[in-house]
Amino acid sequence: MDTKKRYERPVITKHYSGFMNKIGTSSFSKPKKDIDGVAVTDLVEKFGSPLFVISEKKIRQNQRNAVRIFKTRYPKVQFAWSYKTNYLNAVCSVFHQENSWAEVVSEFEYDKARKLGIKGENIIFNGPDKSRNALLKAIKEKAKIHIDHFDELYEIIELCDTEKLKAKVAIRINMDVGVYPKWDRFGFNYENGESWQAIKRIITNKDLELIGLHTHIGTYMMSTEAYRLAASKLAGLARSIKEQFDIVLEYIDLGGGFASHNTLLGQYLPAEEVIPSIEQFADAISSGLFELNFKNDELPLLILETGRALIDDAGFLISSVLANKRLSDGKKALIIDAGVNILFTGFWYKHKITPAQDCGLHTEESAIFGPLCMNIDVVRESITLPLLKKGDKLIIEYVGAYDMTQWMQFITLRPNVVMIMEDGSVELIRKSETLDYISEMELLPLKLSLK
């Protein structure tokens, strides 16, 4: 006879990081005392703290690796460096030396690329905000304009008509690739037929030449299947364009969005264990594209606008401990000299944070706060670290993408940025800001002067 199992009440046991628990022991990384062979102490002595450090070698390695991986899977590949990811001139120049075009999303970025010597035809002009002036310039300079919405299309049609110009254009397309929420605020929608409407309006206009199709399905994407679907949908459109209008497109642009090696806040396993490799993204994209079934000479160029996956791990932020503290509940806290004003990605990522000098074996769970007198300035809610004292250095890793563009001048000044060159020399690539630099843009009405 079955006996009823005895009820046992559940027990919730708190696992403390830093101590042995069911997952094992937690560990912190060994101290990292140099970056590309240059001692952290030397860098700080010469350029101060906090300090952004970029590795030229790592950027080149990442870029070459990605090109090799894609080119072994699809015959015609072109990368375009996504300026907003990091548009420091030195960084863009390394990518351009590696044959990347420029992918820009504003007139400011467009002008920056032109100033660096990139020809209009090698600039991909994305984004929802292209002024009339910017459009005129881009049309004249034969840039590849990716139209975002119908109002932009009508403005280009009108500009070409009044100025007697011809424009080379592509459209950005958004679509359902099984990733939610959908990124449908940029470009023309695929499923509801809007993109096909835009294509027909372009093709039937005498001044416009449709040369490509573009999508950027999202950012920090973990699904390779989403890319296969996106490539397959764009390939389907390209096939229809060929069949119905006898037009063979120059390119298909799959955008960026591959996850980098940073771990997202709330992600349990480290990024290294969960993100797909570039090989897997490339396999998915090429198999989607081969649904084109075109002959080799008719295959469109595959353009990629990969940002974070190519530069995150080439960027480091050296920071100094300003103070140790105990919070009211006894939790340990560190205050460091780098805050969310220069580490914007601290809002999304659990960065790898490593001490830059020898330290003892004892570890303690700590919160890390930045130097700002603002409650939002939390670099990390909780991390297991060895005991650090005032003046000790930490290296915040994987900060190459978005931090040096989304940083803000708030309460303190933005620090120096250096690049460690392939030959081991160190170049200052952006000077730390000064009060005069910031004040230069301000105007004080005479009536308010205290002098």
Ligand X SMILES: Cc1ncc(COP(=O)(O)O)c(C=O)c1O
Chain residues binding ligand X by CB under 6 A are 82, 85, 103, 126, 216, 219, 255-258, 305-309, 401
| Nearest-approach distance from CB 376 to ligand X, in angstroms | 23
Q: Pick from 69, 143, 65: which is nearest to 111 by CA?
A: 143
Q: How far is the CB of 165 from ligand X (least distance, A)?
A: 25
Indicate the residue among 234 and 318 with the shorter CB distance to ligand X.
Answer: 234
- Residue number, 33 or 96, with CB nearest to ligand X: 96
What residue number has its CB nearest to ligand X?
307
CB 378 within 8 Å of CB 51: no
Least CB distance to ligand X at residue 239 (A): 24
Check residue 313 and report its DSSP letter.
Answer: G
**Shortest Å distance, C-beta 126 to ligand X:** 4
Closest separation between CB of residue 226 and ligand X, Å?
Answer: 13
- CB-wise, 305 or 377, nearer to ligand X? 305
Q: How far apart are CA 47 and CA 65, in angstroms?
A: 31
Q: Which amino acid, 81?
A: W
Q: How far is the CB of 358 from ligand X (least distance, A)?
A: 35
Closest separation in Å from C-beta 310 to ligand X: 8
**Structural element, H or E, at residue 34:** strand 34-35
Q: Based on CB atoms, which residue is closest to ligand X, 175 or 378?
A: 175
Q: Return the number of the residue (185 or 447) whose C-beta is nearest ligand X.
A: 185
DSSP secondary structure letter of residue 61:
H
Between 305 and 397, CB nearer to ligand X: 305
- What is the rounded (10 degree) CA torsion for 259, 261, 267, 269? 130
- For 274-398, list the strands marked E by DSSP: 301-304, 315-326, 332-336, 349-350, 353-355, 363-369, 378-386, 393-397
CB 182 within 8 A of CB 174: yes
Residue placing its CB nearer to ligand X in the complex, 168 or 216: 216
